[in-house]
Chain A
Amino acid sequence: MLAFILRRILQSIAVLLAVGLVAFSLFRYVGDPINAMVGQDTTMEQREELRQKLGLNDPAPIQFAKFIANAARGNFGLSYRTSEPVGRMILERMPATLELSFCAALFALFVGVPMGVYTGLYPRHWTSRLLQAISLIGISLPTFLIGILLILIFAVSLHWLPSFGRGQTVQIGWWTTNFLTVKGLQALILPSITLGLFQLTLLMRLVRSEMLEVMRADYIKFARARGLTNRAINFGHALKNTLVPVITVTGLQLGALIAFAIVTETVFAWPGVGQLFIQSVQFSDIPVMAAYLLLIGLLFVLINLTVDLLYFAVDPRLRGGGLARAGGH
């Protein structure tokens, strides 16, 4: 047991290092950061001098080693674009992204799962087919177009919701939250829908197919034979059994949401890490890009690790399997 956990943690660290290497060594070449740091009429000599001082002329492995050594201490250096400490820039923007991703996940869960249950229970009903077709819009149009259309309808035409930004936020320690003001909550609605629509479709389809399978399982037939009410069967037995994969997928998709927030944040000028990342790509702001990728890597690895450990705790059969797998053939 301990050995298994230890091995997974070691593997996770290896994964993180790989992510760091990939991120760093590739983005080092995205563009010449010097051009982002100086004005157009800075002389060539000044540019070269700056490049030398920043260590951009050092061999890549040395730059990477320096980067990892600093990153391990939480020091990601200064942004080339704003000369602010990268660690703080990311920390300041993290709450915006996390709150947005959280709301998008909630939206996907609380709309997607019931839709999936309904379409799974009544697969041939016309409302099911309609719901299914509508949900496909979530994966039939690019996110940026959905976002801008929502803005045009709900902000420009109807004036119901703000067109961009976080609205009003409240500061609690270093965390800024949207949840405590009406304006903040209003500002969350459109971006959350835009970001969550894709996951909603995914979840709905997953729940639907799980329900379809479960409803044909023998134990449901037995339950019916025992004379249980439809309600008890649908929610007590069927839905419960579909929840395990749903939770797994939601957990894994939370990470994907944070990464996909890049597009939504760009459209809604949402001041989160995704927008920061895309700005950094445009300005070849390597310290920020590298830190962002490491952060995303860390999140995914943590989520994966948690899911693995949860399985381990939940399903005793896996313990044997896990060890056997490790032992090889």
Chain B
Amino acid sequence: MAGWLHRFTDSDIWWSFKSSPMTVAATVVTFLIIAISFLSPILAPHTPFDPATLSLSDGLKPPVLISSDGDWTFPLGTDDQGRDILSSIMYGTRLSLVVGFASVVVAMFIGITLGLVSGYFGGTIDAVIMRIADVQLTFPAILVALLIDGIVRTVISVKRHDEIALFVIVGAIGLSFWVQYARTVRGSVMVEKNKEYVQAARVIGLPPVLIMVRHVLPNVTGPVLVIATINLGLAIITEATLSFLGVGLPSTEPSLGTLIRLGNEVLQSGDWWITVFPGVTLAALVLAVNLLGDWLRDALNPKLR
């Protein structure tokens, strides 16, 4: 373990990480936000997702540091439902991160699988998968989500629609991002599969699945990781946009994006804190994740070393 750590701190990657203060800062911010939001049930002063704890008489309180009308129980103020903004942000960030991570995992799974299959087998399978990718590209995330929302409403007979809204959003965003992974993986596979070691593995009779997972996959981890980082930010933003178009998560349990959408409606009313704090949090989170992704891409790119 210690040796492993030592090898890591000696590596090029660690050196490149250390020598970029911006990346260090981005890492700290990312992990801080992730940690705080996932600990929100412990850390948050209120539970804004539980209607029984809300009282309209607490509604529209300004942040404490700005106005003497503020209330220390609600340090960043409250919205018109009497929800504590700070707690809403913490819970909302957690929800946004869950949406982001989950949809990236969905996209990665679909994309890598189809990319491997497409690249390794080629031929008709490849043509079909790539045409499906074309169709997929035809529908950007927003349209896919509107479509999936449409089906789900029919199939689930709208009974518990809010409860499955999360899965709908994750599925929709995941589905709209897989093409990038598939194309990247397919490209790598096509290059790798003609190399001698893969040919050799084939000759000694290793099954294709094993060849792909053991020999081809490790070669694409870098680019896939980079796409994943960038997609994480994108997924969180997409969820916010979907909320603006009316197919986001329910406003009783708002994500960071939903909070901003709700705040957007009262942006000009003078109650700026309802929008600004969630907006700043979202921007900080996505910015940090993207900076991390940028650094990772440069660091993992062998041509740039």
Contact = CB atoms under 8 A, between A and B. Distances in A.
Contacts of B28: none
Nearest to A214: B303
Contacts of B143: 259, 293, 296
B111 interface: no
B135 interface: yes
Contact of A140 (B131, B134, B290): B290
Contacts of B291: 133, 136
B138 A296 contact: yes
Contact of A30 (B127, B153, B304): B153
A326 B127 contact: yes
Interface stretch (A81-89, A99-107, A144-152, A232-240): A144-152
Contacts of A30: 150, 153
Nearest to A143: B241
Interface string B111-149: 000000000011110110001001101111011001100
Contacts of A327: 123
B105 interface: no
B297 interface: yes
Interface string A109-143: 00000000000000000000100110011011111
Contacts, number: 135
A29 interface: yes
Contacts of A63: none
Contact of B303 (A27, A216, A266, A326): A216
A80 B68 CA distance: 53
A22 interface: yes
A256 interface: yes
B243 to A, nearest CB: 9
A212 B298 contact: yes
- Say which size band chain A's interface belongs to: 35 or more
Interface stretch (B4-12, B73-81, B280-288): B280-288
B18 to A, nearest CB: 15
Contacts of A262: 142, 245
B153 A29 contact: yes
B122 A325 contact: yes
Contacts of A266: 244-245
A301 B241 contact: no
A266 B267 CA distance: 17
A141 B303 CA distance: 32
Contact of A329 (B22, B123, B237, B241): B123
Nearest to B239: A142
Contacts of A23: 147
Interface string B262-305: 00100110000001000100110011001100100110010110
B142 A15 contact: no
B294 A213 contact: no
Q: Which of A145, A212, A255, A293 has the most chain B CB atoms inside 10 A of its CB?
A: A145
A291 to B, nearest CB: 14
A329 B121 contact: yes
Interface string A9-47: 001001100110011001101100000000000000000
Interface in B223-254: 233-234, 237, 240-241, 244-246
B282 A141 contact: yes
A206 B126 CA distance: 26
Interface of B: 22, 121-124, 126-127, 131, 134-135, 137-140, 142-143, 146-147, 150-151, 153-154, 233-234, 237, 240-241, 244-246, 257, 260-261, 264, 267-268, 275, 279, 282-283, 286-287, 290-291, 294, 297-298, 301, 303-304
13 contacts: A15-B131, A15-B134, A22-B147, A23-B147, A29-B153, A133-B287, A140-B286, A140-B290, A142-B237, A142-B241, A152-B268, A301-B134, A329-B123
Interface of A: 11, 14-15, 18-19, 22-23, 26-27, 29-30, 129, 132-133, 136-137, 139-145, 148, 152, 205, 209, 212-213, 216, 252, 255-256, 259-260, 262-263, 266, 278, 281-282, 293, 296-297, 300-301, 304, 325-329
Given A22-B147, A139-B290, A143-B241, 19 more contacts: A15-B135, A26-B151, A27-B147, A29-B151, A139-B233, A141-B237, A142-B240, A145-B279, A212-B304, A213-B301, A216-B304, A259-B142, A296-B143, A301-B138, A325-B122, A325-B126, A328-B124, A329-B122, A329-B123
